[in-house]
A and B are shown apart, each in its own frame.
Chain A
Amino acid sequence: MHHRPATTESAPVRWLLIGLALLALSLFLLLPLLAVFVEAFRRGADVFFAALHTESALSAVRLTLIAAAISVPLNTVFGLAAAWTITKHRFRGRALLLSLIDLPFAVSPVIAGLVWVLLFGAKGWFGPWLAAHDIKIIFDLPGIILATVFVTFPFVARELIPLMEAQGSDQELAAVTLGANGWQMFWRVTLPNIKWGLLYGVLLCNARAMGEFGAVSVVSGHIRGKTNTLPLHIEVLYNEYQFSAAFACATLLGLLALVTLGLKTAVEQITHQRASRHH
């Protein structure tokens, strides 16, 4: 008789547990993913492509790309600066700073939009001043960008801090000893070391920026063809019972999610291989 180790389960139990987990994940994750594409093509490929080719869909895609193109670099620079401060230096209030960076994770997207309305909305703190100077923030692109920046604020920093903490500062110290200045050290030593983690953080930040709904919904004003991002456009189509068109636009964001997950797995694979090569 074949003896199994005392620290694992018998084969039937093992396969039962694997089966249950597979069932749960397919019902829970695979089915929704499948449903996006099935619903999108329910009325044929013509309807699918027609839905993507409308003026309002194209303008929504354009606005989504613009908002992400501005918010993601901002939060990337912040992520690098914050990670540099926190992992390469020791100072009073460091733990507090770490907690504050995580703060947006605990804020509802709706509240992330609301704070900007309270500041810059028509009845907000700076509302009258902005109106007098004919500057529009809420119900316009600046508001959408501010809401997106708030929601995606911690993503890059959160990815870089544990990575740079684990790498330590030995290589940077060596570079200083050899006479490198700060920027040389950053470009030649730090950046090559963190590039995969940085890429992953940027990907996550971008996926969330392009997909953000609640915060953007509060500040956008839903002006069709003008302040509707792709997720908001999906909502409008859905509420008008244009289900196939709504799901057609949803496939774009579904693909974005799949690409993000695929790249994430690839990046993890690369960093894993490099880590095992070093040991």
Chain B
Amino acid sequence: MSKHRVIPGFGLSLGFTLTYLSLIILIPLAALFLKAGGLGPAEWWRILSTPRVLAAAKLTFGASAAAAAVSAGVGLLVTWVLVRYRFPGRRLLDAMVDLPFALPTAVAGITLTSIYAPNGWIGHYLAGWGIQGAYSPFGVFIALTFIGFPFVVRTVQPVMEDLGVEFEEAAATLGAGRLTVFWRVILPALTPALVTGFTLAFARAIGEYGSVIFISGNLPMKTEILPLLIVSQLEQYKYREAAVIAAAMLLVSFALLFLINLLQRHLDWHKR
């Protein structure tokens, strides 16, 4: 570095930051990968290809993708209303969006269960239509949607606020109807933010534990998610199985984060 540093404290703050980061995050994660990596591909395959792990993976990734997709749809509607319209109670609504961030997952879990249980406020209507809310894969989906929804709103909101109306005006001048303008002008501009929000919600849903275990019923092969499977392996002192499942999950999550980073860089490049 050629430039002389004017603001002091670089060495001290960098040193502290790196030490703390290593002790709390990097070394523990490295220990996990060492433990799992030391087992070899054959052992990985043996652990990950058991029917119980595969069923849990299918449910975890399937329900997370469905929940993130619904979050993206509802999130887009809510963001649109919050950004574009002025109505009484808008501030309150805006603040409420963060509730799933602030409400501890265990509280969300038992509450959603009580609402969607067959005798709950919403659950008994669902039961009337023959749909089982809590204690089913659908229940897992509900909890994950609750958890993921704010990620979409908070990612799309700043982009929508910065969106100028010039292109919309131009399109309207050229005779495009409001719906056409939305599909052809507004939605394409929001797509990168929507994809980022979807991916964040998806990544969070994959790892979610507290809100799901109450509502899912935790039946192996049916409503058991991957994080719960890790816990149950640990409770039987099967450290190797737990480590391999965890390492595989982390690899997927890191790949997703890497994708978001690429997308973000692409976005920044476009803005310039």
Contact = CB atoms under 8 A, between A and B. Distances in A.
A166 interface: no
B239 A32 contact: no
Interface majority SS (helix, strand, loop, mixed), chain B: helix
A108 B104 contact: no
B42 interface: no
A112 to B, nearest CB: 8
Contacts of B7: 88-89, 169, 172-173, 176, 185
Nearest to B60: A108
A69 interface: no
Interface in B117-160: 121-122, 145-146, 149
Interface majority SS (helix, strand, loop, mixed), chain A: helix
B77 A24 contact: yes
Given A21-B77, A212-B104, A7 B168 contact: yes
Interface in A5-30: 6-9, 13-14, 17-18, 20-22, 24-25, 27-30
Nearest to B254: A106
Interface residues of B, number: 91
B184 interface: no
Sort chain A's interface into a size bin. Answer: 35 or more
A81 to B, nearest CB: 4
B234 A117 contact: yes
A8 B206 CA distance: 38
A72 B8 CA distance: 26
Nearest to A219: B234
A17 B31 CA distance: 50
B263 to A, nearest CB: 14
Given A18-B87, A100-B25, A106 B242 contact: no
Contact of B29 (A17, A107, A218, A246): A107
A214 interface: yes
A210 B104 CA distance: 8
Contacts of B77: 17, 20-21, 24
B54 interface: no
B121 to A, nearest CB: 7
Contact of B31 (A33, A85, A118, A247): A118
Q: What 10 A-B pairs come out closest when comparing CB atoms?
A: A211-B104, A108-B207, A6-B172, A214-B209, A213-B210, A115-B28, A182-B8, A257-B102, A21-B81, A110-B227
Given A32-B108, A108-B208, A250-B106, 5 more contacts: A111-B32, A111-B207, A117-B234, A257-B107, A262-B95
5 contacts: A17-B77, A89-B5, A102-B257, A125-B31, A235-B214
Interface of A: 6-9, 13-14, 17-18, 20-22, 24-25, 27-33, 35-36, 39, 77-78, 81-82, 84-85, 88-92, 97, 99-111, 114-119, 121, 123-125, 146, 149-150, 153, 169, 172-173, 176, 181-182, 185-186, 204, 207, 210-214, 217-218, 231-232, 234-235, 238, 243, 246-247, 250, 253-254, 256-258, 260-262, 264-265
Interface of B: 1, 3, 5-10, 12-14, 16-18, 20-21, 24-26, 28-29, 31-32, 35, 74, 77-78, 80-82, 84-85, 87, 89, 91, 93, 95-108, 110-112, 114-115, 121-122, 145-146, 149, 165, 168-169, 172-173, 178, 203-204, 206-210, 214, 227-228, 230-231, 234, 237, 239, 242-243, 246, 249-250, 253-254, 256-257, 261
